[in-house]
Amino acid sequence: MLKAMPATVRFCCPNCGAALRGSRADGGSVQNCNRCGEAIRVPGRQHPSECDGSDSPSVPPLALASAREGLRHLTIGHHLVLAQGALVVVAYALWASLEGTAKVVDRDPGPWRDLFLAAWATDLILLALQSGSKWLGYQKCEAAAAAVGSAGWLTLARFAVLLRGLGYLMASAPWLMATTPDAESGLVKAFAQVGHLTWMAGLLFEYGVLVVWYRLLAELGEVASAAPVARFVAWAAGLVLTASACVSLTAMTLILLLRRHAPAATPPQGVRLNFAAVPPDGWVLVGGLFTVLTVFALVLAVRYRGVLNLVSRRVNAPR
């Protein structure tokens, strides 16, 4: 998916001989020469003859200026994502320390309901701010993405941001309704499950923006400058697979612990674990899993910030 492809074609102005570039996707369309203003049809492939003068910019200056502003918005959005994640982690840790882990699983905040409702409201405000910031950032980068034949990926990323926000709200519905897992209706469970799937689909679609960063870096510099994006993809895939394995291993270990300490509480296949019967060492295991997943998410966030910094440096580099 991230294989470097020449996104532009180079050709000459027949009137003045200036070297020009155009988007491969615009082959057959007409653009004006940067030197003499002559209207020239963009060829579908490289022009075989040599030209006078230097190439025109591979990405138009106005598109680069818009991308610089867009990347600032994306960086702000990234910081808001980190703030939102930190709020969620602190809220869950505080909840578990005040009321016990079993109360967290049963969605029972006890006397701290108002405090956690305030945290949830703050979480939604951060969600709205980061979604708006990322939407605007992707929108402002679309012109630069179009110059490397990748505008569609940014359009997809923009709507993926909305999809993730919608999925997050749907998945949060049972918590807002303050229903326990055993008491919620099948409709609420289905609504929340669709929310989880929607959020995951939005996350997957937003990762398509990596194609844009790869192609933009390859066009603005050497292909080697885009290598960190490919490495990030490998890191993300590895961490997701490792996290999935950790979740499965934890679930199997909890079932074994239940069979040892409370055989009657062992769930049949396909039935939710009876967390009320989990022994203390089982909660240590759950806490360890929560910590591992939090660290994985932080590693991905830090490494993606490095990708954003790399793109920002290349876009801001003098031409």
In tens, the pLDDT along 63-122 reads 889 999 999 999 999 999 999 999 988 988 888 888 877 777 777 788 888 888 899 899
Which amino acid is present at 169?
Answer: L
List pLDDT tens digits, range 259-300. 776 665 555 544 455 666 667 777 788 888 888 988 999 999
Q: What is the pLDDT of residue 164?
A: 93
Q: What is the pLDDT of residue 52?
A: 53
Which amino acid is present at 12?
Answer: C
| Residue 50 pLDDT class (50, 70, 90 cuts) | low
Q: What is the pLDDT of residue 125?
A: 95
Supply φ then ψ for residue 51, to 5 degrees: -120, 165
Lowest average pLDDT, out of 131-145, 172-186, 196-210, 295-309, goes to: 172-186
E strands, the chain, are 8-12, 19-23, 30-32, 39-41
| Residue 47 pLDDT class (50, 70, 90 cuts) | low
Higher pLDDT, 34 or 142: 142
Q: How many alpha carbons lie under 13 Å from residue 33 in its C-beta half-sphere?
A: 19
- DSSP structure string for 213-239: HHHHHHHHS-GGGGHHHHHHHHHHHHH
Mean pLDDT on 216-221 = 84
| Residue 1 pLDDT class (50, 70, 90 cuts) | very low
Alpha-carbon distance of 8 to 27, in angstroms, equals: 9
- CA dist list (Å): 308 to 79, 170, 214: 12, 29, 11
Q: How many alpha carbons lie under 13 Å from residue 212 in its C-beta half-sphere?
A: 29
Alpha-carbon distance of 120 to 132, in angstroms, equals: 18
Please determine, for residue 53, whether its predicted confidence score (pLDDT) is greater than 70: no
Please determine, for residue 46, whether its predicted confidence score (pLDDT) is greater than 90: no
Q: How many alpha carbons lie under 13 Å from residue 9 in its C-beta half-sphere?
A: 20
Q: What is the pLDDT of residue 191?
A: 86
Please determine, for residue 25, whether its predicted confidence score (pLDDT) is greater than 60: yes
Q: What is the pLDDT of residue 174?
A: 78
Token pair listed for 163: 């999809």
User: Among 301, 318, 304, which Cα is nearest to 213's?
Assistant: 304
Please determine, for residue 4, whether its predicted confidence score (pLDDT) is greater than 60: no
Higher pLDDT, 274 or 254: 254
Task: Tell me the pLDDT of the chain averaged across its residues.
Answer: 81
Q: What is the pLDDT of residue 224?
A: 77
Q: Which DSSP state fits 34?
A: T
Please determine, for residue 140, whether its predicted confidence score (pLDDT) is greater than 90: yes
Token pair listed for 239: 């961490």
Q: Which of helix, strand or coil describes residue 269? A: coil
Please determine, for residue 55, whether its predicted confidence score (pLDDT) is greater than 60: no
pTM exceeds 0.85, yes or no: no
Supply φ then ψ for residue 204, to 5 degrees: -65, -45
Q: What is the pLDDT of residue 5?
A: 47
